Amino acid sequence: MAVTGADSTADRGEVSGAESPERLVALSDGIYAIAMTLLVLDISVPGGLSEPDFQHAMRQVWPHLGAYALSFAVLAALWRDQRWLLHQVRRVDTLTVRLTLAGLGAVALVPFPTALLSEYGGREPLAVSAYAAAIALITLLHLSMFLTVWRRSSLQARPIPDRVGRITVTELGAVFLVCAASVAMAFAVSPQAGLWTWLVSIPLKHTIRWRIRTHRRT
């Protein structure tokens, strides 16, 4: 987003012509949609195969389908987090724009570690680690974005209750720590152990999110 016609408002850290987060919401939706679509490009079966070769090719496809389903679910959850974060924002400033763009850059990279995971995740700890590191980076940037908005009431679309803020920080921080732990497990134990450690973050995330929803209803 180019800053044009900068004035005293821009000097205070706000982005001229982009105070509303609507442009970032639209950009985020587009980036996530593209990343989700790119996940499927690695799934294919050659044409003209004999029956035995076709069956063998289908067996080779299953790891790709598993990695696709996993990454699609992960990106869907991250997209929901991204939209929720941006809906807490009444106006953006330079820092929130940069954090959002950095997060979207990491999201656009997810198809690459997904391909590594589908090809080498069962035997190469680096493949599992690269995938976990990508998710950890996105989560860390979401956490930085939320802390920036939570600490600056002038950016908030509505006041963020302290309890919701603490639970959100706990959720994002826990996911980041689990991803970091999975990297250690992948190298210290096995790639499979690293992957299963990372998968703990999915029910953990849903449990903490359930607590947030329960708090909002009370």
**Cα–Cα distance for residue pair 106/108, rounded to 1 Å:** 5
Cα distance between residue 27 and residue 141, in whole Å: 16
Phi, psi dihedral angles at 89 (to 5 degrees)? -100, 130
Taking only the tens place, the pLDDT of each residue in 182-212 is: 888 889 888 888 888 877 766 666 666 666 5
Of 125 and 195, the one with more pLDDT:
125
Domain assignment present for residue 143? The answer is yes
Give domain status of residue 94, yes or no: yes
For 21, the domain range is 16-217
How many CA atoms does the CB half-sphere of 82 hold within 13 Å?
29
3-state secondary structure of 167: helix
Look at the chain and report how many structural domains it folds into: 1
Q: Is 69 within the bounds of a domain?
A: yes
User: What pLDDT score was predicted for residue 17?
Assistant: 41
Other Cβ atoms less than 10 A from the Cβ of 202: the count is 15
Is 2 inside any structural domain? no
pTM: 0.82
